[in-house]
Amino acid sequence: MKILSLMIVLLAAAASNAQSRVTATIDLSSKNYTAEVSYEVLSLTSPAKAYDVINKGVLDIISQGCDPVDALESETGFDHFAQAKIIAENIDYVGYEVTSGNYCGGAHPNYYIYHLTFDAATGLPVDMNKEVPKQDFDNADSYPNFYDDLTVYQNELAEIIASNIKPTADKDLAGFEDCFSESGMTKAELTEELALLFPTIAGLAENKKVVLSISPPHVMAACTFSVQVPYSEVSKYIDAGSILHSWLK
């Protein structure tokens, strides 16, 4: 996909390493296809290694929207947007939260919030499912009780999420109260509903925190949210020999 323009915009906010954040905004539009993505750029003058690899990796991932050839042949316009924000930057890893949406034909648009984690030394992406055996579907056939164990795991994650939600005075879920069946739910009732929304360990945040996220069906996509919890709350799910354990223990 041809990049038509590149605009670098200086942000006023300072990063954790006291460097100013820079955002790259990329126009990927073509005929019948409006597409723009942006991401916070890691400074190539930073002591951390492989930042150029990470910058390219983030751009490659968030640029994956609609097929411009399909858009060209469609009678309706397609669109795609994505914004990647850095939520962790340290000597071990870099974490991003990506807000993305597109319309690629069909009955409805799509909306996503997802997380990316990169090894700061190599620039390579970290596959969180590989780091967490209980959500590694590639190895599901190797474990006879995988799906039963997955159900238990998701219920346990749902309980952790419910415990880390910080309600306001009149809302059960600080802006997400319409995403659940009723207001005024008990913690047990909230946990039960969260467990149905496929909670996973999705990424890493600053201060050795782990991101837990839910993945509701597309009709509830606006209800996607995540919480950050200390590693100690989820360490039992992560292999002791994994790179995550070495970073966060």
Q: Look at the block and give the residue holding tokens 């316009």.
A: 77
At 50 the pLDDT is 87
At 59 the pLDDT is 97
Phi, psi of 207 (to 5 degrees): 60, 35
DSSP state of 12: E
For the stretch 141-151, pLDDT in tens is 888 899 999 99
At 183 the pLDDT is 62
At 230 the pLDDT is 95
Cα separation of 83 and 112, whole Å? 11
At 140 the pLDDT is 87
At 166 the pLDDT is 63
- CA 156 to the chain's CA centroid: 20
At 240 the pLDDT is 87
Low-confidence ranges of the chain (pLDDT < 70): 1-20, 44-49, 166-178, 181-184, 217-222
At 239 the pLDDT is 85
Q: What does each C-alpha distance from 234 to 16, 66, 208, 239 come to in angstroms?
A: 25, 35, 12, 11
Q: Any idea what the Cα angle at residue 203 is, between residues 228 and 142, rounded to 5°?
A: 120
